Amino acid sequence: MKSFYTLLACALCTASAWAQTHQVTFEVNMANETVAASGVYLAGGADFGVPGTNPMTDDDGDGIYSITVELPDGYSGYYAFTNGLCPDWSCKESLVGQPCGDPANYNDRYIENVTSDTTLSTCFAQCSTDGTCSAPADPVDVTFQVDMSTTAVVGPIYITGLAIDNWCGNCVEMTDGDGDGVYDVTLELEPGGYEYRYNNGGWDGQEELTPDMDAACTLTTGTFTNRIVTIEGGVTADTLDVVCFSECVECSGDPVEPSTSDVTFSVDLSNEAILGPIYITGNTIDNWCGTCVEMLDDDADGVYTVTVALGMGNHEFKYNNGGWDGQEMLDPVEDAECTLTTDGFTNRLITVSDTLALEVPEVCFNSCAACEPASVEELSTWEFDVVPSVTDGLFTVRFGRTAGDASRMTVHRIDGGLVQELNIPAGSEVLTFDASAWEAGIYLIHCASPLNGGVQRLIKIQ
């Protein structure tokens, strides 16, 4: 009988041990983050679900979010924090290259062998164990370079990654300005680890990287093998070495003949006063020279054409009437159907997707549409003066004739950046402007009505 009670007690002890659980409190300091309106969450691993399953709270408003969960004795498992409610995990903290992120398990954190009530305190996207956060470092301008000279280019070349474009795949385009087959792009990134890859035309042309052969420059997370780079702080810029597409090193194979298309451009200036030779300019055409690639009107019909060999991808360009002083002034809203606006610069845009000859539809200068015919009397240049032409503040625009309906004035820097635009009130003869806040430099003032226009230069001094 005594043996029976002894066995029963041992069984009860064993059952109690099996049933024992512990309260585990997870705390994450969000001092370096702008907390999403949807909140902060504990997620990941096999037990903590997707963002939204385990909301964390900051009851005292000190920026430290916490949640307490009950875990069985001896529990081990993976977890992570998310800043927001993101089904695609785009708001998950990045621990790439950090010691507390396991690359074999999506760079999640790991808790091992829970044997008592425990509090885990850390910082979002950092590995501290006391809940403190290191001050964020200044961002670095990082230049990525990939050599496509041994690969048949089938479209625009892109860089993609979680922190770059949320793995969009075709959102951040790289360019080959000098035509040497090396594509590059500069991105502003905070110091830390980043996974990324290059795409040739999009996801159908993604790099083929393997965990073994490309281990020197990649990180394999689950079934995904991506490039990895660690950006060090303390510098303002960093240029990564040129690597071959789908390799960790420079290209060594025979170059592939670049895939190009003969692209014919046509622009109608029959409604414009010709100020000089007509040019086409663009990064992939003449490196924005502005006066290097001339267009010709062989039949004197007012339509100027030129054929240029361009590689696969997107190409920004514009037409110049006589040079940069007579550049097109395209509107980001009114001309949105044929333009791309980046950092205040509005340029025309085409996409070359194969090697077949391409004829870009004929357009009217300064427009996305074809020209409407105008009478000879209507084609005179709109004469106006800018007084004074050199100023440190106020200047006036004096029209040779009163402004009619639908007249417009734009002011651009000499490099094409838009400074000011306005509708000219009908009947105006003189307008006064204050340029005291403008930077010193050369500005182009363009006044235009539906049928004519003119350009004057203003020099702003300090």
Task: Annotate 11-74 with DSSP letters as a single string.
Answer: HHHHHHHHH-EEEEEEEEE-TTS---TT-EEEE-TTTS-STTSEE-B-TT-SSEEEEEEEEETT
The pLDDT value recorded for residue 324 is 93
The pLDDT value recorded for residue 11 is 45
| Tokens, residue 367 | 């427009």
Domains of the chain (ranges; CATH) run 20-123 (2.60.40.10), 140-244 (2.60.40.10), 260-364 (2.60.40.10), 377-460 (2.60.40.10)
* DSSP strands (E only) in 139-282: 140-147, 157-160, 172-174, 182-189, 192-200, 218-221, 224-231, 237-239, 243-244, 260-268, 278-281
Task: Give which of 149, 122, 238, 145 is closest to 196, Cα–Cα.
Answer: 145
The pLDDT value recorded for residue 1 is 47
Residue pLDDT tens, the chain, 462 long:
445 444 444 444 444 444 699 999 999 999 999 999 999 999 999 999 999 999 999 999 999 999 999 999 999 999 999 999 998 888 999 898 789 999 888 889 999 999 999 999 999 999 999 999 998 888 999 999 999 999 988 888 999 998 899 899 989 999 998 888 999 999 999 888 899 999 998 898 999 999 999 999 998 877 889 999 999 888 999 999 999 999 999 998 788 777 788 999 999 998 888 888 999 999 889 889 999 999 999 988 889 999 999 888 889 999 999 999 899 999 999 999 999 998 889 999 999 888 889 999 999 999 999 987 654 344 446 678 899 988 999 999 888 766 666 678 888 887 667 888 888 888 888 889 999 999 888 888 888 776 667 788 888 887
The pLDDT value recorded for residue 406 is 62
